[in-house]
Amino acid sequence: MGVATVGCFCMWYVSKQARAKETLNTAAESRFVLYQYSNCPFCSKVRAYLHSCGEDFQIVEVNPITKKETKAISDYKKVPLLVADGIQLKESSVITSVLDTHFNTGTPISEVVEWYPAVSTGIEDTNKGKEKLEYPNKYRIMGYDENLHEKMLHEAKWRKWIDNHFVHLISPNVYRTWAEAVTAFDYFTTNGNFSDFEKTYIRYVGAAAMYMIGKRLRKRHNLDRDVRSELYSGLNIWLRAMKGKKFHGGDKPNLADIEMYGMCSAFHGMPSWEDAVQNTKIEKWYNRMERYLKKKSAIGLTSANPTLTSVSTDNAAVSV
């Protein structure tokens, strides 16, 4: 069993146990079913969007080892996987673009997915032995008025930045040191129904695995050894680009705001987040987003992430 798998399994078990305390809607008639790892940033991004829609949705935690939850319905081995009106949607940014286009145009999801085809890049994915696929329309929302063209370009630019840069700052910061990795797993187990043995096992085995993964990711993405400074820099770049506005979307959030919130919510409450709050002005934007989504959500914002104890005023087998 690889290090990444061990880490993901511990995080899945935490999510599964914590969710036992949550009251989630499991109605069979729900239009949307999200298969996820609770603390995966890409899954958090899709959750944030579903909250913003005001739609009812179900959440299914996926076991990263057996993947039995998704194997029953799909050959796709990654998360997030969203079943929307019976259609399977993959890749977090494709999912949010398809849904946003659906709600914007009223076109059935079964038709909208045809506007987001996967195209072979001709490049082999060394990890899978298959050709890599790309979605040329991944960041494009269909059906908007031409007068909004510049705003849509701005939104797409920052959605790309979130996927190509900011997300890579999260794990190396959450698991920056051994102590922070242990603290993160202490935080994860706060709300779950765990025995003392389970808490100890998850705390140390999970922390060790994710600490090693964090180091690997720092090197893979050529981050400075001072990953905190990288995090502060990323957040400041995001904030400066708003040019004094409440959101990137102006007076109300756009899709980039929602996706960035999802990413930040994946490490909200961790030491890395607390340090970011002390060294940047991210908290005001985050709190505005949280208030906005609390008003929009149909199932309650805390229900989407059972590891969070309250609402303040994603490596192996994880898709993007």
Half-sphere exposure of 72 (CA within 13 A, CB side): 7
Q: How many residues can be counted in the chain?
A: 320
Selected catalytic residue, list 10, 40, 53, 264 = 40
57 given a catalytic annotation: no
42 given a catalytic annotation: yes
Please give the helix or strand (H or E) that residue 124 lies within, else none.
Answer: strand 119-125
264 given a catalytic annotation: no
User: Do the strands 87-90 and 119-125 form a parallel or antiparallel pair, or are they unpaired?
Assistant: unpaired
How far apart CA 152 and CA 116 sit, in angstroms, is 17
User: Do the strands 57-61 and 32-36 form a parallel or antiparallel pair, or are they unpaired?
Assistant: parallel
How far apart CA 213 and CA 33 sit, in angstroms, is 29
Q: Which amino acid is at 260?
A: M
Pick the closest to residue 113 from 132, 133, 86 (CA basis).
86
DSSP state of 221: T
Selected catalytic residue, list 9, 35, 42, 292 = 42
Contacts of 192 (CB under 8 A, 6+ apart): 14, 17, 18, 20, 21
How far apart CA 157 and CA 160 sit, in angstroms, is 5
Strand partners, 83: 33, 88
Q: Are 93 and 137 in contact (CB under 8 A)?
A: no
User: Do the strands 32-36 and 130-134 form a parallel or antiparallel pair, or are they unpaired?
Assistant: unpaired
Phi, psi dihedrals of residue 248, rounded to the nearest 5°:
-65, -30
Tokens (6 digits) for 258: 């929602």
175 given a catalytic annotation: no
Selected catalytic residue, list 9, 35, 37, 57 = 37
Tokens (6 digits) for 129: 């032995």
How far apart CA 226 and CA 215 sit, in angstroms, is 12
Selected catalytic residue, list 8, 10, 43, 264 = 43
Active site residues: 37, 40, 42-43
